[in-house]
Amino acid sequence: MATGKRWKHDELLLALNLYHKLTFGQMHSRQPAIVALALKMERGSNSLAMKLCNFASLDPALKMRGIKGLSGASALDRAVWTEFHENLSETAPASEAAFRALFGADETKHVEVTAKEGVRILKAPTGPTETRATVKVRRGQEYFRQAVLNNFDGRCGVTGLAVRELLIASHILPWGRHEAERLNVGNGLCLSRLHDAAFDIGLITFDVDLRLRLSKRLRAALPQRAVAENFSAYEGETLHLPKDAVLPDEKFLVVHRSEVFQNSP
């Protein structure tokens, strides 16, 4: 394994892709995804883990939670961090495509990163017939889904449901109207398919303390068993997130409460 190599621009983009799919406490040399990516990059897993912790020192979302990374971020680290986050709509899909290519995944395959299992190559749910523009959008969606689900430790933030196939990376600000925030992890919630649908149309929201609130329409449906068990049972509970996770952006939740929740049918 090569050691002491200078980090290159494209390697740092790959590292940033993985950075946003792990929480800070998972950034260590034994983490399966770090081991897998380091092997493909022909670097030591300790070197990659340290680079991720360097990035953590630049992350304002972690600073808000009082989490500090390593202090050795280079000028190139800072430049690539800025480049990545100032143009997420371009850099995130490009980094996802590069990540897939590094692991040899063609259009029939899906690359998934999880904290416990590392990097998995799975059969894609759709075939290789997309246009180039659609592929770019899909790569961005793949990046966002993995980053958001992993930020919530693979569990629904309301119920704790941990069946990955039943989870959605929900957008707080809608995809169609807020292009700049489409791939921002702070614009994401991990919710079950049911709670995603309810959030999308404003039947539920989260207050300034991230506690679940129910709309008048949903309350009016009580005491239906399904409403009581899936919604009322969790009312007032705080959104479940790991201690080192990126918090949902409160500015985005303010918009959801005022424009979607308040105007729900």
pTM of structure: 0.89
Q: What pLDDT was estimated at residue 5?
A: 85
Query: In whole angstroms, how far apart are CA 215 and each of 27, 179, 199, 204?
Result: 39, 27, 10, 6
Domain count for the chain, please give it: 2
Q: Are residues 14 and 112 in the same domain?
A: yes
Domain-located, residue 4: no
pLDDT in tens, 235-256: 999 999 999 999 999 999 999 9
∠ CA(212), CA(66), CA(257), 5° rounding? 25
Ranges of residues in the chain with a pLDDT under 50 are 1-2, 127-130
Domain-located, residue 158: no
Q: Are residues 147 and 183 in the same domain?
A: no
pLDDT in tens, 49-59: 999 999 999 99
Domain-located, residue 219: yes
Q: What pLDDT was estimated at residue 1?
A: 44
Domain-located, residue 179: yes
Radius of gyration of the chain (CA): 19
Domain that holds residue 108: 9-151
Contact 171, 188 (CB under 8 A): yes
Q: Are residues 130 and 179 in the same domain?
A: no
